[in-house]
A = this chain, B = another copy of it.
Amino acid sequence: LERITIIGLGLIGGSLGLALKQAKLSNIEIVGHDKEPTASSKARKRGAIDKTEWSILRSVDKASMVIIATPVLTIKEVFKQIAEVLPPGAIVTDTGSTKTQVMEWAEELLPPSVSFIGGHPMAGKESSGIDAASAEIFQGCTYCLIPSANAAPKAVQTVVGLADTVGAKPFFVDPVEHDSLVAAVSHLPIILSSSLVAATTASPGWREMSRLAATGFRDITRLASGDPIMNRDICLTNRDGLVRWIDEYIVELKRYRALVAEGGQELEKEFIRVWEARAKWLNQAKIPREAEGAPVVEIPKASEQMGNLLFGEKLARRGEEIMKNIEKREQDKP
């Protein structure tokens, strides 16, 4: 029986558990830990984990893979707590929304005997917490993977298998690049949603406004309902990238302000332009994308060595294909 431990049983941790259970992998036991006992017991009742372990130290005992799905700043604390008791050879991964600091903490705090592969499934929902968890949220989503320098090839392959098993598309990316990209498409939106809620609800007219606010307002403010601690940690660990994007955005907003104030032809052209740009994105986002991007660690060339400990023979073969694609892409590079 191979043990997978999930630390942090919120939306993402709980959903990973549900998606893994749904895959009906043989010989896998999922142990769950959360500092909130109610989250743990709900996760077990919902079938996201096989058993709960109230001690974080004991939860990683004999674990082949440890998935840390807590807010970003908590990941550092978890590293400190479990570092000494992690079984040698264990695979450690996380689901944090920022990656540069997580990779630094892993290098600083985790023993060299374990393989750390940073992870970030680009999946979310309006509600947070175990109650909102669902096996489906990873279907077709991009799953960023960042192997640490000393991660064993088999360990990288196993985390690719994890992403694949839950229905996501593995995507190798550099941590600094990751944080800069998500600052624009993920963290800036959190700030825009939240500041819109702040600006409107603090307005003297809010009581009347709130009656006219409809589905458009609901959708644009959705991210303001994200877990506040998670959002805080995202801002604190991606501060420079985020501030830079807020500044860029204000420039853009002022350009729009001028277009509205002028009221000329350019405004219509602008709305057509963004309509088209978004339609193009939505269209492309539907295309199945397999492990894209460049690996930041040397990926083993001998794909026959890719036996997959946790995710079985079928996935091992699937893994071989992915690795071949990556190799091919590397060779094709100019």
Using a CB–CB cutoff of 8 Å, the interface residues on chain A facing chain B are 122-125, 141-142, 144, 171, 173, 177-178, 180-182, 184-186, 188-201, 203, 205, 208-226, 228-229, 231-232, 235-236, 239, 242-243, 246-250, 252-257, 259-261, 263, 267-268, 270-275, 277-279, 281-282, 284-285, 289, 292-293
Instruction: Give 28 A-B contacts (CB < 8 Å), ordered by A residue.
Output: A123-B214, A124-B216, A142-B214, A171-B211, A173-B208, A173-B212, A185-B210, A186-B214, A186-B217, A189-B196, A191-B253, A192-B220, A192-B253, A194-B270, A195-B252, A195-B256, A201-B277, A201-B278, A208-B293, A211-B292, A220-B220, A224-B277, A229-B271, A235-B263, A239-B261, A246-B256, A250-B253, A253-B253
Shortest CB-to-CB span from A177 to chain B, Å, is 7
Partner of A220, one of B201, B219, B257: B219
User: What are the residues of chain B within 8 A of A212 when measuring CB–CB?
Assistant: 122, 142, 144, 171, 173, 178, 181-182, 185-186
Q: Which of A268, A289, A293: most chain B Cβ within 10 A? A: A268
The reply to whether B275 and A228 form a contact with Cβ atoms under 8 Å apart is: yes
User: What are the residues of chain B within 8 A of A200 when measuring CB–CB?
Assistant: 184-185
User: What are the residues of chain B within 8 A of A173 when measuring CB–CB?
Assistant: 208, 212
The reply to whether B231 and A271 form a contact with Cβ atoms under 8 Å apart is: yes
Q: Which 10 A-B pairs have the closest CB atoms?
A: A228-B271, A122-B214, A185-B213, A199-B252, A201-B277, A197-B274, A232-B268, A189-B220, A224-B274, A228-B272
Complex Cα gap A239–B122 (Å)? 37
Complex Cα gap A122–B217 (Å)? 10
Please give me the residue from chain B that is nearest to A252 by CB atom. B199
User: What are the residues of chain B within 8 A of A191 when measuring CB–CB?
Assistant: 253, 256, 260
Complex Cα gap A222–B231 (Å)? 21
User: What are the residues of chain B within 8 A of A177 when measuring CB–CB?
Assistant: 208
Complex Cα gap A123–B275 (Å)? 19
The reply to whether B284 and A228 form a contact with Cβ atoms under 8 Å apart is: no
The reply to whether B196 and A181 form a contact with Cβ atoms under 8 Å apart is: no
The reply to whether B189 and A268 form a contact with Cβ atoms under 8 Å apart is: no
The reply to whether A181 and B208 form a contact with Cβ atoms under 8 Å apart is: yes
Complex Cα gap A166–B238 (Å)? 47
Shortest CB-to-CB span from A73 to chain B, Å, is 11
Given A223-B216, A277-B201, A195:B253 Cβ within 8 A: yes
Given A186-B214, A200-B184, A225:B256 Cβ within 8 A: no
Complex Cα gap A207–B99 (Å)? 20
Complex Cα gap A278–B281 (Å)? 28
Please give me the residue from chain B that is nearest to A282 by CB atom. B218
Complex Cα gap A229–B18 (Å)? 45
User: What are the residues of chain B within 8 A of A218 when measuring CB–CB?
Assistant: 282, 285
Sample of 20 further A-B pairs with CB below 8 A, known A186-B212, A192-B192, A242-B260: A122-B214, A123-B215, A142-B212, A144-B212, A177-B208, A185-B200, A188-B196, A189-B220, A194-B270, A195-B249, A198-B252, A198-B273, A199-B252, A213-B281, A220-B222, A236-B263, A243-B257, A243-B261, A250-B253, A253-B253
